[in-house]
Structure 1
């Protein structure tokens, strides 16, 4: 893939390694890399890869590379395009936390190095460029092909792995990643962690003391009307000089009679609630006076 600018000036090495800074690791002519042109190369290669794999959208772009800790390996052919060079292809790798199934079907949690995207320009395929690029990545990362996971490999890529690295027997997975037999044999106990099976739901246990206390605190913090109303406070005793003190003392004992709520603040004697109390008191007082008069006759 050729571009209207000098590829050799952007990528001095035959294979350049870029990270999230879009830096090739070595600056040319002592000047900073023109990141706009580097981003253009990455974006165009990502679009070509998505088209070749029939994906709805590119999975490789300069913006995605800047937001992830991935490594982008770019292979160029410096003598082509009138000495300005062409981009032959790229390989993108990165570490991913995966939940995989081993040969026995047990769930395993691991974080391997993954091949996330791999593309060689169509007119330059079957010329050894893919093997050169992939082998360089293996040496750079110091990893074996069977120790890696492969994200949605195309049939061409699977054929490539089987032909050059004898990776043919894959372990079935429920996600889009493909791993092979040697993946689990060459992993240490620290790299593989078996996920415990999901516990069956047992009977519901009562709350602990700390949980009950937390629930009480939550109920206290709830706004009206979700909070339980507290018991109304007892009305203060009436002063002896009050006009109701004598009338309220007549009748049933306070221990058997239900408590009447205190009148609302700001209530006046003409309020309907106060009128009802006054009428009851007057009736009881009149009945008491009548019984007293009858006792004298």
Structure 2
């Protein structure tokens, strides 16, 4: 029997502590392996005030990702990025904020639930999002993630029934990832008015932070999202700039602008 070496910062306690201190939570995203210096973006995000960082594992058929994140995934795959290579890169990184992997179930199943979760923990990843695995089929992965001390973060969709949303909130770990609308990821000109109402409906179902994602593109969006939820996830807006050639320092400045906007309006 092998023992998993757990590294990194635990997601749930870290985010709850910051939320309870009145901080609007900010989780920026980067596609793993998108560039030779991709881990420098993690450091830049942390330095700019990220509360946690989401890392996408590139996949050839990303169902819920819009064109920007799809393009980022394709670029990473063309560079030869693999799950094992990305995790090897992460083992060389030490950051003061939690790392959370977003991936698709095919990559988890191919490796095996227990082995996949153990590999995350050994690389310092303490959160996992698998948006294409339904609640009804979650049990084995839940057990493997818990054994590896990896928080399995569940995604709540606005189309969910009240009973299903209660179950998502009860079974999620770390935080609840609330979709702003029934759309793929991507930059948006405006945040749907219903997004805040949906986040407000989720919050009474438990003590986990509720973070809004899918279309959070500007500091104004971040402020509006955090007003109803506990914080936001920002992905496509950052990946568009990275694809256009932004350096880690330039993306860090974009994260800092989001952080400053949240701080200016937080309690």
> Does the TM-score normalized on the shorter chain lie above 0.5?
no
TM-score, length-normalised on structure 2? 0.25
Look at both structures and tell me which one has the larger radius of gyration over its CA atoms.
1
**Structure holding more helix per residue:** 2
Which protein, 1 or 2, shows the higher relative CO under an 8 Å CA cutoff with sep ≥ 6?
A: 2
